[in-house]
Amino acid sequence: MGIIVQNISKSYNKIKAIDAISFEVKEGELFGLIGPDGAGKTTIFRILTTLLLANEGSASVAGFDVVKDYKAIRNSVGYMPGKFSLYQDLSVEENLKFFATIFGTTIEENYDLIKDIYIQIEPFKARRAGALSGGMKQKLALCCALIHKPKVLFLDEPTTGVDPVSRKEFWEMLKRLQEKGLTILVSTPYMDEAELCDRIALIQKGSILKIDKPANIIKDYHRIIYDVKAKNRHQLILDLKNYPSQYSVFAFGEYIHYIDKNENFSATDLDNYLRQNQHSEIEIRVTNPTIEDVFMDL
């Protein structure tokens, strides 16, 4: 009774936004759509929330068909679009009241579900939504999406442009909502958030590249990644890219993630090469892959 998507395709004019996508989200699951801008994530959300018709394929949400039963779906899902859907000129409290009224309910009736989140923005309840900081706007939008007690929650890039502290708090809220029985489909361009989902679909250019638990996706990755560090980072990137057997070179926080084409790669050889190129304070060591590494190699 979660979400079932079967061979959904959608084109805009001649451009295919999504191409024969299929996946299932189990009831009570926290499922992530992970992919960059333009991957087709928003199109999927709009089809599942009945705001857009697919060209091909079928889908159901909470047991309802997205075409035939669109009215039932609208009553049983909450949707937080990527661009804030709040009324900028209404206050925090007015926005919440407005959404409650539209769904024929009241703030009091479902207060339990939003309480944890709402008390954080309640001190600002008279402030116009347009004057809230990014973190607070996001919390208000989540409250508005929850006020009619939906069974399934759709969150399209809820944390884009949000600072790390607010992002962390937001994911803690999602976990608590999941514990209350909600099925959650969330999209994000932040690869570190992928690891917080039960299962994820890696999506790029309208196709799903992989669906699994984050830990399995990492486990299945077969290449060896080396952390490389030296004093001059920019020159290090350039020199690693010129190393004859390099497979990929990507900056990764404090280190550079280096992958070699050869199975019999020797770290000593690379170390010598870097020394010859006047590098100092060189460190080379094997490291664990992350979802981001896997994603960049798809």
Partner 1 sequence: MNKEKIIQVHNLTKQFGSFTAVNSISFDVYKGEIFGFLGANGAGKTTAMKMLIGISKPTSGEALVAGFDVKSNTEMVKRSIGYMSQKFSMYDDLTIKENITFFGGIYGLSRIQIKEKTAQLVEELGLEDAIGKLVGSLPLGWKQKLSFSVALLHEPKIVFLDEPTGGVDPITRRQFWEMIYAEANKGTTIFVTTHYMDEAEYCDRVSIMVEGVIEALDSPKNLKSKYNVVSMNDVFLKLARNVE
Judged by the rule CB under 8 A, the positions of this chain that interact with partner 1 are 35-38, 133-136, 157, 160-168, 189-191, 204, 233-234, 237, 250-254, 292, 295-296
Residue 224 neighbours by CB under 8 Å, 6+ apart:
259, 260, 265, 286
CB of 181 to partner 1, least distance (A): 29
CB of 191 to partner 1, least distance (A): 6
- Which C-beta is closer to partner 1: that of 26 or that of 223? 223
DSSP secondary structure code for residue 90 in this structure: S
- Which C-beta is closer to partner 1: that of 165 or that of 286? 165
- Which C-beta is closer to partner 1: that of 151 or that of 279? 279
Decide if 239 contacts 277 (C-beta within 8 A). Answer: yes
- Which C-beta is closer to partner 1: that of 15 or that of 286? 15
How far is the C-alpha of 64 from the C-alpha of 1, rounded, in Å? 9
Structure tokens at 293: 């590494």
Q: How far is CA 124 from CA 45, 52, 116, 127, in A?
A: 30, 35, 15, 5
CB of 250 to partner 1, least distance (A): 5
Q: Which of 147, 142, 195, 154 is nearest to 5 (CA)?
A: 154
CB of 10 to partner 1, least distance (A): 18
CB of 266 to partner 1, least distance (A): 26
How far is the C-alpha of 159 from the C-alpha of 32, rounded, in Å? 13
- Which C-beta is closer to partner 1: that of 263 or that of 281? 281
How far is the C-alpha of 155 from the C-alpha of 138, rounded, in Å? 11
CB of 6 to partner 1, least distance (A): 27
**What is the C-alpha end-to-end distance of the chain, expressed in Å?**
31
- Which C-beta is closer to partner 1: that of 2 or that of 32? 32
